[in-house]
Amino acid sequence: MGKRNHGGGGQAKRFKSGVLIEPGQVGIYASCNRHKEGAAAKELKQLLNDRWKEYFPVEEETNEENEKEEESVEDAIKREIDEMNKQNQDAKNKEIVKEMSINCDSLIFIKTRRPIVPSKFVTQVCSELFESRAKNTRFLQKLTPIDASCNATETEFRKLAEKVFRGHFDNQESYSLNLIKRNFSIIDRDTFTSIVAELLPGHRLNYREPDKMINIFCFKNNIGMSVVNFNDYDKLCKFNLQQIFDRVNGLDGKEATEGAKQETGAE
């Protein structure tokens, strides 16, 4: 009796667990409709590549004219070759915008490098949508900027929060927490809240009208953070592109309500 062939070729499907986001990596999480993760990632990459040089202009290094005049032809050729080799190597090793295949339903993450500052980028691109009333994306929904990240332990989170809070909390500003957890159960909400309160003595927790919004995004083994002005966060519909478009165009809110149901699991 011959062997039965199960599963059409005998090869079991492999489960893709996705890459892990390493401590120190920064970028932007984006929610989207289920099964549209690939299309949403392409949209966000295109958006970043189209805008980042405009938002974060890089100053080119210049040499003084007298140094150029003294440089020999051979030295000039060698310098140009060295610069080309360095640029090619930098391009390979340090992509400014890179998709991370985290393999999570309705969620994508695009890693960024300097000079991009994710919180500033998200605020700017959402502000442009608000002013223009035109949306050039179909699949992207809520954007969450990550300016710094760490391993998912209380000790590392404390260090991360101290770093992120510098420059944002100087004059007793009040704050609120936007805590999102996906595939994460290492630290509970109360612990996050108590650590933040301990690190911000004299700053009041205010869920209604705070000065600052603290984003904390927990995914598997990683905790990411950013701080944004609450007025921007509130005016720009919590950085939800679809809801911004609906608000500024006076739509009935039905699409925004449906889109909100597809967002990541915010607590």
211 or 95, which is more confident: 211
pLDDT of residue 64: 45
Q: What are the domain boundaries of the chain?
A: 26-56+94-261
pLDDT digits (tens, 9 = 90+) for 255-265: 444 544 444 44
Q: What is residue 57's three-state secondary structure?
A: coil
Q: Which residues contact 174 (CB under 8 A, 6 or more apart)?
A: 203, 204, 205, 206, 209, 210, 211, 212
- 195-206 mean pLDDT: 97
pLDDT digits (tens, 9 = 90+) for 113-128: 999 999 999 999 999 9
User: Is the pLDDT score of 142 beyond 90?
Assistant: yes
- 25-49 mean pLDDT: 97
Radius of gyration of the chain, Cα coordinates, nearest whole angstrom: 23
Burial of 130 (0-12, 13-18, 19+ CB in 10 A): middle
Of 134, 126, 95, residue with least CA distance to 113: 95
pLDDT of residue 252: 53
Cα–Cα distance between 152 and 155 in angstroms, integer? Answer: 9
Q: What is the CATH number of domain 26-56+94-261?
A: 3.30.2130.30
Of 14, 32, 28, 26, residue with least CA distance to 104: 32
